[in-house]
Amino acid sequence: MSEQTDYVKWFRNSAPYINAHRGKTFVMLLSGEAVADSNFANIVHDIALLNSLGVRLVLVHGARPQIEERVASAGLQSQFHNDLRITDEQELRCVTDAAGSLRAHIEALLSMGVANSPMHGAAIRVSSGNYVTARPMGVLDGIDFKHTGVVRKVDATALRQQLDQQHIVLLSPLGYSPTGEIFNLSAEDVAVHTAVAIKADKLILLTDEAGLLDPSGELIRQCEYRDVDAELARQPELSLDSIVQATVDAGDLGIDRCHIVSYRDDGALLRELFTRDGAGTLVTQEHYEQLHTATIDDIGGILGIIEPLETKGVLLKRSRELLENEIGHFKIIVRDGMVIACAALYPYGDDKIGEIACVATHPDYRGADRAERLLRQLERDARSHGLERVFVLTTQTAHWFQEQGYVQAPFTELPAAKQKLYNFQRNSKAFIKTLA
């Protein structure tokens, strides 16, 4: 029963993400290593599930290890410069052979419909073709890269037409020139430029690690593109990682969201897309509005937001002196030096619960996701403090908190210290959220 309850709870909690992803366009990079991994069949099942949930998918596959196998079998010696293959005529045959075989293999897996399997009834249609125009890389550092090329153009119109017909588009690491030549391309280059061309909502990069790791080996769950640049400065060896470099390129070219997810961890893709904490690393563009912990210098800005709400009785009144003493509990969003939103977290460590309070946004900046951003940050802070639940007391914003996953609870579920301070005359309602 516990297993069934956990499943039902997970399924219900995934509903907001199912709704958010429906109709969105994702570009997913499947490296040759990912395709060769024993977990790839499970990834295909997850891709089929995304398709059935209405996600528009472009898959870009790599083929480096498969090309290496064919090069070795042909008795040839691969040549690389700056981790890029120098593709001569003989190697180009190995490249096209490997790419064609892999494309057919992936299409076959996506075509399965065996009863009693996750693919039963999927009826997926896969489209492949000459959607990528390429040009030769040419001569770099005095070295002629021959048939190695770079993306020149992606036929976004043709790709959208296929996606509009609910087809999954599968792109190989090959590009074609108007003169009829074939070029060996980097799969990362194809994925990034395709995401830019079709204005994809997400770029998903599958890697052998859990995601982007810090110097101590800990997973970085969420960061901005500028933080990836900072990690490259701290860990120069990351410059050799093609997935990290693709992430940097994605940021430079304006892709809003990039996910780095393990291809070895069964279910990591679904957990990344359909759970609050994810399973890999989410990289986003830099917010021109900065979220950070408040300082004494921010008190005037916070008061400017909360005092009108205190007057209306929406928020409990706080004096400047009290605010000065509690300023470290506040997170704020600042835009051009102006505080435009605030919220606070007060931990009750012994009870493993925290109070979220004073969630407020400047009237000129309501209607966006600023309050949600603050709430998510405070919930992450609560988890980092070892708290298992958070609660709010509210008189006028109950529906909004319920939309954020908070459930009304009796007064007796609040920590004892809070119960002693409860203002019965104000008659606030309590809402509690369990942190997953």
Query: Which CATH number do you get for residue 202?
Result: 3.40.1160.10
Q: What confidence tens digit (pLDDT) does each residue in 91-132 have?
A: 999 999 999 999 999 999 998 765 556 666 667 899 999 999
pLDDT of residue 315: 82
Helices (H) and strands (E) in the chain, counts: 15, 23
Percent pLDDT > 90 in the chain is: 66
Same domain flag for 356 and 319: yes
- Give 347's contacts (C-beta < 8 A, 6+ positions apart): 354, 382, 385, 387
User: What's the domain range around 428?
Assistant: 290-434
Q: Between 4 and 26, name the one with better pLDDT.
A: 26
pLDDT of residue 421: 81
Same domain flag for 277 and 295: no
Does residue 184 sit in helix, strand or coil? strand
Same domain flag for 360 and 228: no
Q: What confidence tens digit (pLDDT) does each residue in 381-392 have?
A: 999 999 999 999
pLDDT of residue 116: 56
Assign 152 a pLDDT band (cuts: 50, 70, 90): very high
Same domain flag for 240 and 338: no
**What global pTM score does this model have?**
0.71
Same domain flag for 275 and 229: yes
pLDDT of residue 56: 97
Output DSSP code: residue 387.
Answer: -
Same domain flag for 115 and 164: yes
Domain boundary among 231, 256, 284: 284
Domain boundary among 249, 284, 319: 284
pLDDT of residue 119: 61
pLDDT of residue 312: 83
Produce one character per residue of 9-48: b if its CB has 16 or more CB atoms within 10 Å, e if not: eeeeebeeeeeebeeebbbbbbbbbbbebebbebbbbbbb
Contact 149, 190 (CB under 8 A): no
Assign 12 a pLDDT band (cuts: 50, 70, 90): confident
Same domain flag for 212 and 251: yes
Query: Which CATH number do you get for residue 347?
Result: 3.40.630.30
Q: What confidence tens digit (pLDDT) does each residue in 342-359 have?
A: 999 999 988 999 999 999
Q: What confidence tens digit (pLDDT) does each residue in 310-334 have?
A: 888 778 888 889 999 999 999 999 8
pLDDT of residue 276: 74
Domain boundary among 255, 284, 313: 284
Long-range contact pairs involving 226-235 (C-beta distance under 8 Å, separation at least 24): 226/251, 226/286, 227/283, 228/283
Q: What confidence tens digit (pLDDT) does each residue in 179-206 have?
A: 899 999 999 999 999 999 999 999 999 9
Same domain flag for 75 and 24: yes
Same domain flag for 128 and 273: yes
pLDDT of residue 185: 96
Same domain flag for 109 and 200: yes
pLDDT of residue 316: 80
Number of structural domains found in the chain: 2
Q: What confidence tens digit (pLDDT) does each residue in 212-249 have?
A: 999 999 999 888 898 899 899 899 988 889 999 999 99
Same domain flag for 277 and 416: no
Same domain flag for 149 and 16: yes
